Structures are given as structure tokens and as C-alpha cells.
Amino acid sequence: MITDSFGAHGRAAPLVIAIDGPAASGKGTLAKRLALHYGLPHLDTGLLYRAVALTLIDEGSDLDDTGAAARAASALSAERLSDPRLRERAMGEAASRVSSVPEVRAALLSWQRRFAENAEGAVLDGRDIGTVVCPQARVKLFIIAAPEERARRRHRELLGRGEETTLAAILADIRARDARDSSRAAAPLKAAEDAVVLDTTELDAEAAFAEAVSIVERLKAA
């Protein structure tokens, strides 16, 4: 674990902020705001898995075809991440399925690590950033919230996009994704031993951001 705030030549070491947590916990919103606050690039690593799933769907391949998924991950281009379809609800479920394929995770690991090697640092959010992708990150946050609250947040978000759905269906999806992400053999969802857990169940966006900044500043100074 990196504890020194300065590099070998006395310059500030890159600030890598690793943010993990289950779906709809608020980690993506926090990651974007922290990246803006600290002037760092941000990567929503979930988009990589969504892009792999979308590639399989577009080419007519089965989401459970591990060979096709691995090939799609290896050939993934940055341009694919701008496809608006990646934000659709169905893509979250599809991404959860392909993310359980070890070959897919291996293919995308180098992509994520290259992103984190930015000279000033970077903010990455996902499921295994602090445990696998960036285990040496200076700051690790694990964002949680009660499943019911996460379902309410996602429900509001989807309704705002004009997507028809029900709160019960979203809660069921979230519980299923939690179970799959936490039990998969390859890089399961869990907090790194040195991560700070932030529960956003009772926090609005501003309060969660303020608490996150406080944690980052404390860890930076450690």
C-alpha cells in the first residue's frame, strides 16, 4: 500500500481514488464529482462491461458465450463507451452476466490500469477497483446503501429517462445483481481491507459528497 504522499523526486504522488460498491449505491455520482473537484480523469469501469455485453447483443451472440465475450473485451475500443444504449437498464443486467467471465475481466484489467497510470492520478469506480485493479491506490472508498433505497434511486432515475418500470422489479434486479456480483469466482464485489466504507442510505447527494471529500483529504494526509 502506498502511504507516502510524494514520489522519488519530491513531487506529489499521483492521487488514485478507487471507488467500489453495489449498483445504485451512489458511487458513480460521487466518482464524477470527486474527479471534477480534484481535476482528475474519471472512468466508470462498469461501462466497459456494458460495452462488451452490447457488442455481443449487436452481433447476435449469446451473453453466456464466454469465447465471444472474451474476444469482444479484447477488441473493445474507447469509442464504444459513448454509445447511449449503454445507460439503458437492460445493459446493467447484461453487464453483470459478462463480468463474471474471467477472460473478460482479464482482458479489461490492463485497460483500467493504463487509465489509472495518469501522471496526476485518476478516479475509477466499479466493483473491484480497490481489491484488484488498483490495490495500491492511496484512497479507497466502498459505497453502500440499503437495497430498498438503492431501488428507489434507480426507479427515479429510470422514470426521469422515460423508461417504464416498477419499484418491485428494480429491487428484484438489484438483489439478483448483488448476489451474482458478490458470489462470482472472478473478482467478487467486496470492500478492500483498507477501504473506508461510506453508507449513503440516509445521505443526500451533497452530504455524501462532503463526507467523501472529508475521507479523501484524511487519507491523502495519512
For residue 25, say whether it is annotated as part of any ligand binding site. Answer: yes
**DSSP tag of 14:** P
For residue 27, say whether it is annotated as part of any ligand binding site. Answer: yes
Other beta carbons within 10 Å of 42: 19
For residue 23, say whether it is annotated as part of any ligand binding site. Answer: yes
For residue 21, say whether it is annotated as part of any ligand binding site. Answer: yes
- Residue 184: all three cell numbers together: 462470482
Among residues 87, 83, 200, the alpha carbon closest in space to that of 144 is found at 200
For residue 10, say whether it is annotated as part of any ligand binding site. Answer: no
For residue 24, say whether it is annotated as part of any ligand binding site. Answer: yes
C-alpha distance across the termini of the chain, in Å = 12
Alpha helices (H) in the chain, listed in sequence order: 27-38, 46-59, 66-74, 89-98, 102-116, 147-160, 167-183, 205-221
Residue stretches of the annotated binding site: 21-29
Residue stretches of the annotated binding site for ATP: 21-29
